[in-house]
Chain A
Amino acid sequence: MEDRKRVKRPRGVAQLISGKCIACGARCQSSCPKDAIEMNEKGEPIIIIANCIGCRKCLKVCPVDALEIYLTPEEQKILAELAAQKKVAAVEEAPEVIEEEAALLVKLKEYRGVWVFVEQTAGEPAGVSWELLGVGADLARARKEELCSVVIGDHVEHLCQESFVFGASKAYLIDDPVFRRYLTEPYYKAICYLVRKYKPEIMLVGATGLGRDLAGAVATELQTGLTADCTGLAIDDRGFLLQTRPAFGGNIMATILTEGTRPQMATVRPHVMPLPAKDSSRKGKIVREMVPFQEADIAVKVLEVIDERKAGEVDVAAADIIVSGGRGMRAKENFSLLQELADELGGVVGSSRGAVEAGWMPAERQVGQTGKTVRPKLYIACGISGAIQHLVGMQDSDVIVAINIDKNAPIFEVATYGIVGDVLKIVPSLTQRVKELRAKGVEFMVERH
């Protein structure tokens, strides 16, 4: 028998919990310091027990808790005995790990406040910035910190006051002619300058073309985490930002944490978060900053800017009623049926990815994961089967009407009303019915959100 005092505390070995692995992409294997994990063809880990030292790194990176530590009955017995002897927890962390985490916590404590980047073009704000102030206020409240806006541009001071109306209590302002047009380089350098000086805990940016471009550059320069296209943001019990986003075309929802670096950065698409209530009496503090930056320092030169927003161009994401068509519409010409219905209802025509790919509708009308996210009061899906990438872009609509020939189409799963039948016959009948009701004086137009 071995001398009790010399018994090493057993650490066990990692093992896979059957049926829980989602084949996330070999995170466990990548995290293993001892090459103790091989992946099988299904993308699940195989633990090489001889190499495993029970360090638990793979357990920590697994997004679905599919790994656990296995202890033999003998090991469990030794642990129980040790615990009884020394009155220590059976699974204590190595002291160096605890020290590391404590040092990290001190560093993270320097960062405070929730920032929202106010996107603007020629002084005109992007609506998503105000939406972000709404969710930003919730996060700031949960962390008991202040909500700040970041305004960068040329002659943009008025946007600071507007951000106070939507909930910010402080605005960081950089107002200089060098920022009159968006270019990645001056903008990201300006933001990095502010972040390094004032150390925000959380930074939110609209997931527009400009916002994605900017946020990526900022996160790389600061070497911090950035989560794109979040649909849910919340604070966990440790005060960390829980960033939930769809992946695989909306088929899975992943909640992401940035634990060791700051700020925690996230982008959110337009119309995903509700616009907060305006309060014109609100005031805030403007913090003016200067960034020593010359026009000549910028590598990319703007030769020309053309405003492509055509008068009357349709923004499906802003519409209250959307009549959308998919491949089931069978031909481009048939979209005129949808336009007629939309006109009667005071709505606009949208499209699935299939109809865009077929060349029937322009890309800016596309609803779905790779198109626009919409949450109208009424969404009428015509000849759209309801691939999940489409559903994720419209399933938050208040009322969904689905018309499809295939009774098994997934669109019916989210529909408030479903009609199984020929869309080319049903849509004109519906239009006719609406016309009749309108002739009787019934109004279908709805108030704006």
Chain B
Amino acid sequence: MRIIVPLKQVPDMNQVKFDVEGGRVDRSSAGVEINPFDLHALEAAIQIKENKGGNVTAISMGPRRAESSLRDALARGADNAVLLEDRKFAGADTLATSYTIAGAIQKLGAFDLIICGEKTVDGDTGQVGPEIAEHLNIPHIAYVSWLEVSGETIVARCEMGGRAYTVESAFPVLLTVTKDVNVPRLPGFRNKITARKAAVEIWGTRELSGFADISRCGVRGSPTRVHRVIIPSEENRKGMIFRNTIDEAIAEIADNLLSRLN
């Protein structure tokens, strides 16, 4: 079974700092990590490999520093890693991103399964996975919380709108998985050492030629354009803050709630 896991390197959202005045994200303020949802996708792929045999390719698009996240994926059990890095890939929206990744997947050759995280913690759109499937013209199953691979097909449980659908699909198929699908393993120490030396392939526009039309990548291939960016300062309600007079506070709040709510 040939499995591909697209993943994204994201800033650690608990640490990243925002400069409200300058309106900028201070990327250097936070460490980077594999998008937490993608770890579940990777774990699902490795479990299938362990049970059914096969190999797992991790693929990412981003600046050169994203190589470290691919090494992390290798340490966790991926067999190969490819980084799509080219200045012409930058500034891509979800359509251009999914198109570029789909092009790279075509270059990788035949595959059975693509597993993505349901969304990323920074962009938070959940669009790239289903969009990759459409570019490749293969079916997809979104929000998968349980799955089982049997011979010719995959049976998966997907949760949407308060209902759980058990669905079956032949290969190839793309899944997006939720956090409920498994508990990702930590990379072993020895694997970390090996992964440090393992080769991460770097593909740019030259490597993708014949698989992706460059005019559909990056800023050029993005139908959406960021028109304006602001960092909102938190709304200041000029509220009443109580520190030492807590009984008073409770009385005030209980009584005022009444006047405000009724």
Q: A216-B126, A242-B227, A256-B224 are in contact. Are A42 and B28 (CB under 8 A)?
A: yes
Contacts of B11 in A (CB 8 A): 248
Q: Could you tell me the distance between the alpha carbons of A8 and B134 in the complex, rounded to whole angstroms?
A: 48
B241 on the A face (CB < 8 A): yes
State how many angstroms separate the Cβ of B254 from the closest Cβ of chain A. 4
* Interchain CA distance A425-B122 in the complex, whole Å: 36
Interface contact B219-A27, CB-CB below 8 Å:
yes
Is A198 located at the chain interface by the 8 A CB criterion?
A: no
Are B95 and A430 neighbours in the complex by a CB distance under 8 Å?
A: no
CB interface residues, A 9-41, toward B, < 8 Å? 19, 21-27, 29-32, 35, 37, 41
Complex interface: chain B residues within 8 A of A215 (CB):
127
Contact B243 A30 (CB under 8 A): no
Is the beta-carbon distance between A302 and B95 smaller than 8 angstroms?
no
- Chain B residues near A300 (CB-CB < 8 A): 139, 141, 167-169, 173
Q: Taking the complex as formed, is B253 at the interface, i.e. its CB lies under 8 A from any CB of chain A?
A: yes
- The listed residue with most A CB atoms (<10 A of its CB), out of B23, B220, B262, is B23
- Cα distance, A444 to B254, chains bound together (Å): 10
Number of residues of chain A lying within 8 A (CB) of chain B = 112
Cβ proximity bits A423-449 to B, threshold 8 Å, 1 near / 0 not: 001100110011001000011101000
State which of A89-97, A108-116, A287-295, A305-313 sits at the interface with chain B: A305-313
Whether A61 contacts B225 in the complex (CB less than 8 A), given A226-B95, A426-B250, comes out as yes
The answer for the CA separation of A419 and B223 in the assembled complex, in Å, is: 47
Q: Residue B84 at the A interface, CB < 8 A?
A: no
Given A31-B220, A253-B229, A377-B261; A225-B25 close (CB under 8 Å)? no
- Contact stretch, chosen from B75-83, B86-94, B107-115: B86-94
Nearest-CB distance from B49 to chain A (Å)? 23
Residue with the greatest number of chain A CB neighbours at <10 A, chosen from B88, B230, B255, B257:
B257
Q: Which residue of chain A has its CB nearest to the CB of B234?
A: A413
The interface residues of chain A lying within 8 Å CB-to-CB of B24 are 21-23
For B14, the chain A residues whose CB sits under 8 A away are: 387
Given the known interface contacts A228-B126, A300-B169, A303-B166, the answer about A30 and B139 at a Cβ–Cβ threshold of 8 Å is: no
Per-residue CB contact flags for chain B residues 221-241 toward chain A (1 = under 8 Å, else 0) read: 011111111111011110111
**Chain A residues with CB under 8 A of B127:** 212, 215-216, 219, 226, 228
A413 and B236 contacting across the interface, CB-CB below 8 Å: yes
Give chain B's interface secondary structure class.
Answer: mixed
Q: Which residues of B, 1-40, contact A by the 8 Å Cβ criterion?
A: 11, 13-14, 16, 18, 22-25, 27-28
Interface size class of B (residues with CB under 8 A): 35 or more
**Which of B27, B162, B173, B262: most chain A CB closer than 10 A?**
B162
Look across to chain B and name the residue whose beta carbon is closest to the beta carbon of A31. Answer: B219
* Most chain A CB atoms below 10 A, which of B11, B24, B139: B24
* B131 at the binding interface (Cβ < 8 Å): yes
Given that A219-B131, A252-B231, A300-B169 are known contacts, is A210 also in contact with B219, CB under 8 Å in the complex? no
B13 pairs with A303, CB closer than 8 A? no
Q: Is the CB of B234 within 8 A of A302?
A: no
Tell which of A248, A417, A443 touches B122, judged by Cβ atoms closer than 8 Å: A248
Provide the bound-state CA to CA distance between A225 and B125, in Å. Answer: 13
Is B135 within 8 A of A220, CB to CB? yes
* 6 residue pairs, one from A and one from B, having the closest CB atoms: A27-B91, A225-B223, A63-B226, A228-B125, A225-B224, A22-B24
Residues of A in contact with B (beta carbons under 8 Å apart): 19, 21-27, 29-32, 35, 37, 41-43, 61, 63-64, 119, 121, 126, 181-185, 188, 208-210, 212-213, 215-217, 219-221, 223-229, 242-243, 247-249, 251-261, 299-309, 363, 369-370, 377-378, 387-389, 391, 395, 398-402, 407, 410, 412-421, 425-426, 429-430, 433-434, 437, 442-444, 446
Q: What residues of chain B have their CB less than 8 Å away from a CB belonging to chain A?
A: 11, 13-14, 16, 18, 22-25, 27-28, 63, 87-95, 98, 121-131, 133-135, 138-143, 155, 159-170, 173, 179, 218-220, 222-232, 234-237, 239-243, 246-247, 249-258, 260-262
Q: A23-B27, A258-B224 are in contact. List 10 more A-B contacts (CB 8 A).
A: A27-B91, A121-B163, A224-B223, A225-B93, A229-B125, A251-B16, A252-B18, A252-B232, A301-B167, A302-B167
- 17 A-B interface contacts by CB (under 8 A): A31-B218, A31-B219, A63-B225, A63-B229, A119-B161, A212-B130, A216-B94, A224-B223, A248-B16, A251-B16, A378-B260, A414-B234, A417-B241, A425-B246, A426-B250, A429-B246, A446-B262
